[in-house]
Amino acid sequence: MNAPHDLSMKTDEVLQVELAVFKQEHSDLDEAIHALIERGTGDQLTIQRLKKQKLRLKDLIARIEDRLTPDIIA
């Protein structure tokens, strides 16, 4: 997750698989954050770190979706 992702060198099939994996990771992080907040077991630093990781995943998901979605000229 820390390494930059060069989307230009990947096939659409690879990007589709990565997209599914990243969406699942994003969902898992969301559940973990909510569980930590509800139970009161997570410290603020941990929760902030997880939220940043979730935001990085969201940005990466958006970049992959943009790459996979063809531009439509109206």
Identity of the residue numbered 67: R
Query: What pLDDT, on the 0 to 100 scale, is given for residue 6?
Result: 79
CB-based burial label for 11 (10 Å; 0-12, 13-18, 19+)? exposed
In this predicted model, what pLDDT tens digit does every residue of 5-45 receive, in sequence order? 778 888 999 999 999 999 999 999 999 999 999 999 889 99
DSSP secondary-structure letter at 40?
T
Q: Show the beta-strand stretches assigned E in 5-72.
A: none
Q: Worst-scoring range by mean pLDDT, 1-5, 13-17, 50-54, 63-67?
A: 1-5
Q: Name the token pair of 1.
A: 């997750």
Specify whether the CB–CB gap between 54 and 23 falls below 8 A.
Answer: no
